[in-house]
Each structure stands twice: as C-alpha cells, then as structure tokens.
C-alpha cells in the first residue's frame, strides 16, 4: 500500500498537468481538452531527428526537391499558411518550420511536431491539385502540428506500453536502461506508426479550413480535394485518407463550416489585392 500511494499521487499530478487544450478558440470551434503527458520538447526533438533522417534518405535517393517549380509552389503556399498560425497559438510562429517536397507517387503529405512539413509530388501530379486544394491539404497537416496530435498519441501509447511508473520517470528525465532505448525508438516511430483518431482528424479538417481561409485560399476547395483524392483511388480511400475517409459526414461538416470562414477568405483576398 505504501508503494502504491506515490504512484497514485504521481498519477493525479500527471493527469492534472496533462489535461489542456493546445490551441486558442476560433471560428473552427475546436476546444477539446487533450491528454498531454509527454514533454513537448522531447517530442519535438524526436520528430526533428526522424525528419532529418527522412531528408537524408530522400537526398541520397535524389528525390528531394528535384522539381524546383513544384517546391517553390508548395513553399509559397506553406509560408502563407504559416503566417497565420499565431491566431491559433502564438508560440507556433517561432517554431523552426521546414518545408520540403519528395518525389513520390503516393497521395500524401504530413507536418510533424514542431512544424516539419513534407509534401509528396504524387499529391499534385495525380489529382492535378489547385493551389487552393494544396492549401487545404497542407493546412490540415499544419493543424495536426498545432493541436499536437502526435504528442497526444505518443502520450497515450507510452502510458499503455510502459505504464505509469515509466512514464513518470520519462517525464522527469530519470528513465534508464532498456526502457530508455525502447522509449526513444517508440517515440521516433509513433508519429508514422499510429494513425490519428477520428476526432483528431475532424479537428484538423476544421482548423485547416480556417487556416487556409485566413491565408486567402478558397475554403470550398477542401471538399473538391477529398472528392478528387477518393475518386483517384477507385472509390477507396488512399493512404492519406486511410483513417478518415471522405464520407458524407465529413463533407457535410466542411460544407457547414465553409460559409463561416468565407468572410476571412474574402478579407484576405482584399488585403492581397491592395498595392504593396
């Protein structure tokens, strides 16, 4: 019983410190309380290492940013989106953002914790994505990073994998031995290995739509994007949509939110049209 008390106290402390929402309230209406026990700095470090490894592999294979025109296009769209992230969380404006394009036939893109963006060329080439549609994809992925869905998934998975005592030690920096190695390996792989939950995908749809509108991209493009991606794969969801197929409910949610964020889009277009 004496040994159990410290664990229970630790559990309560972790629970209280680990429940928070990562983004400010906005038109998107996303305000869910999240389970965050893993330290953000450690998650960002793991993600940066994994991203660097991915870049090194792509460079070796001569598939990184080889289409200069496509890279410029993706980077321009990404930078306009990044310029709006402070609306959702001011600290994100200071992240070490990176944008890259890999020559890859997959219909896919991602943004790792800390702002590490990757877009696969297949996403553009196979569906002939417009700038507005690309903004919908990249905005969706940036929203995952803003909401720290990767950190949330890792917190849940680490607790399930190693238990409360190991998690407490990891948070405090005291975990050692085999568990340390296993934890580091787990952390570097979880971003890719664990799919986002449906609620996380819904949140990213909504924040991504608002983010794109604030950057001056047509919010209606989100609907046409999901329709084109699904149709390209003969009606079955491609890898990008594997955990969140473009079903009627999702399309309806996007259509319902689009009129609410349209004034943001129109205001952004007016600002962009003004002489500099």
Active site residues: 141
CB 96 within 8 A of CB 51: no
Phi, psi of 103 (to 5 degrees): -70, 105
Q: Which residues pair with 110 in a beta bridge?
A: 118
CB burial of residue 36 (10 Å; 0-12, 13-18, 19+): buried
CB 264 within 8 A of CB 210: yes
CB burial of residue 276 (10 Å; 0-12, 13-18, 19+): exposed
Q: At what angle do helices 149-172 and 131-146 cross, to 10 degrees?
A: 20
- Specify the 3-state DSSP secondary structure of 176: coil
């Amino acid at each position: 019983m004496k040994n159990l008390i410290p664990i229970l106290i630790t559990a309560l402390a972790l629970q209280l410190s680990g429940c928070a929402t990562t983004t400010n309230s906005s038109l998107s209406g996303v305000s869910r309380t999240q389970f965050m026990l893993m330290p953000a700095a450690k998650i960002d470090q793991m993600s940066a290492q994994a991203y660097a490894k991915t870049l090194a592999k792509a460079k070796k294979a001569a598939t990184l940013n080889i289409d200069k025109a496509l890279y410029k296009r993706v980077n321009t769209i990404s930078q306009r989106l990044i310029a709006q992230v402070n609306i959702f969380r001011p600290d994100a404006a200071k992240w070490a953002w990176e944008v890259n394009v890999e020559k890859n036939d997959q219909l896919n893109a991602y943004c790792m914790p800390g702002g590490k963006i990757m877009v696969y060329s297949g996403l553009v080439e196979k569906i002939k994505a417009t700038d507005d549609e690309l903004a919908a994809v990249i905005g969706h992925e940036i929203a995952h990073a803003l909401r720290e869905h990767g950190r949330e998934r890792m917190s849940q998975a680490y607790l399930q994998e190693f238990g409360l005592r190991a998690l407490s030690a990891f948070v405090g920096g005291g975990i050692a031995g085999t568990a340390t190695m296993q934890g580091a390996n787990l952390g570097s792989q979880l971003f890719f290995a664990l799919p986002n939950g449906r609620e996380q995908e819904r949140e990213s749809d909504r924040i991504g739509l608002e983010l794109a509108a604030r950057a001056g991209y047509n919010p209606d493009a989100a609907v046409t994007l999901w329709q084109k991606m699904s149709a390209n794969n003969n009606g079955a969801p491609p890898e990008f949509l594997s955990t969140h197929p473009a079903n009627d409910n999702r399309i309806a949610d996007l259509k319902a939110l689009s009129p609410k964020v349209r004034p943001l889009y129109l205001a952004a277009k007016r600002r962009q049209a003004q002489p500099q």
